[in-house]
Structure 1
Amino acid sequence: MIAGLGKNYAVLLALIGLFSSFCKAQINPVDIAEVDSLMAQQAKPILILLSTDWCQYCQMQKNQIRKNKDFAISANSFYYVAFDAESRDNVLFQGKDYTFKPTGKNTGTNELARALNGPGTLAFPTWVLLDKNYQTLFRHGGVLNPTQLKELLNAIDDISVIDLQTP
């Protein structure tokens, strides 16, 4: 019986090790304030999710990302930023200072969210992909389904390979 317990114990330890390595693979967003210094060290594409705390679709999208294995695997190819579009913090991005602009009582948006969104109505969530030179390559207002997210990740991987081959 003790020998059987030893095998079960070994299996349990193996499962714990496997689970802990999977947990490490989860993606943690980069703070928008850190992007410029990270880009100075190593330029890569920047994938930004514009969201708000009250947006249920944004929370759903973030939850999908946390569980998405492809996202975790591709995470070294880009900087992922989850930016609260209603952030009241001043943000320095690309050498420009962006501030919160009230739009009513207890409401407003950060100027950076409007700049990244481009012309048109600001919707949540909105995805923005910037290349290593901060040029907008992709913008999508709304939730990305798993297939769309996979296609976006494949495109980022392709961009990263081209950037590595370019002197």
Structure 2
Amino acid sequence: MRIILITFMIFCIQAVSAQKSEIEWIGFEQLDDSLKVKSKPVLVYFYTDWCVYCKKMERHAFKNPEIVSAINNEYYAVKMNAESMAPIEFEGQTYINEQAKTKRNGVHQIPLILASREDNKVSFPTLLVLDRNFRIRKRSFEYMTSERMKELIKS
């Protein structure tokens, strides 16, 4: 009886730990490698350290177990500080933060390319849903509640 109980407890612990409580974020360089292994839709999240709504979204929508599970299971989730100074290699090209040469909080080339609105301005938070062929399917340039986030990531 004791062996059965111990086995059951181990099984329960493994089942609970298998459910991730956080989104498994990766960077663009890891995305490049991942896409070569398996094609999958991509969720891209651009944020800044000073963005109040980014922080709020990270505390709420990105902690919602249903959203965490859906993103981890159905997407490659890419998170990037839009003001990053780090050069990033993606698909054989290096992207940098050119604006940092002349602006205090310059925006990196990647969010400028992917997250610019029609008026060529960027705002944060920005979320992009890309299909398996890396084409933009959905964009959001604002704070997302959990309910709105569920709609955004719904296939």
Q: TM-score, normalised by structure 1?
A: 0.75
Match for residue 55 of structure 2?
59
User: Paired residue for 2:122?
Assistant: 122
Instruction: Map 1:15-54 onto structure 2 (within 5 A).
Output: 17=13, 21=17, 24-54=20-50
1:67 maps to a residue whose letter is K
2:69 is aligned with 1:70: no
Quick check: 1:131 aligned with 2:131?
A: yes
- Contact between 2:67 and 2:146, CA under 8 Å: does it hold in 1? no
- Alignment coverage as a number of residue pairs: 143
Q: Does 1:96 align with 2:93?
A: yes
TM (norm. structure 2) is: 0.80
Q: In 2, distance between residues paired with 1:121 and 1:77?
A: 29
Q: Distance in 2 between matches of 1:72 and 1:137?
A: 20
Cα deviation, residue 17, structure 1:
4.1
2:49 alignment partner, SS class: coil
Is the CA contact (8 Å cut-off) linking 2:45 and 2:127 kept in structure 1? yes
Moved more, 100-109 or 77-86: 100-109
Identify, as 1 or 2, the structure richer in helix. Answer: 1
Per the alignment, residue 141 of structure 2 pairs with 141
Offset at 1:59? 1.1
> Shift of residue 97 of structure 1?
1.6
- Aligned mates of 1:31, 1:71 — CA distance in 2: 19
Which residue number corresponds to residue 107 of structure 1?
A: 105
Residues 129 and 153 of structure 2 are in contact (CA less than 8 Å); yes or no, is this contact kept in structure 1?
Answer: no
Structure 2 gaps of 5+ residues are: 1-8
Whole-angstrom distance in 1 between the partners of 2:55 and 2:127: 14
Q: Deviations over 1:53-88 (max 9, x none)?
A: 111111111222442111222112101111110011
What is the identity percentage for the equivalent residue pairs of Structure 1 and Structure 2?
Answer: 26
**Contact conserved, 2:40 with 2:132, CA < 8 A, in 1?**
yes
In the TM superposition, what is the alpha-carbon distance from 1:143 to its structure 2 partner? 0.9
Q: Which runs of 5+ in 1 are unaligned?
A: 1-12, 156-167
Query: Could you say what secondary structure the match of 1:44 adopts?
Result: coil
SS in 2 for 1:73: helix
Larger Rg: 1
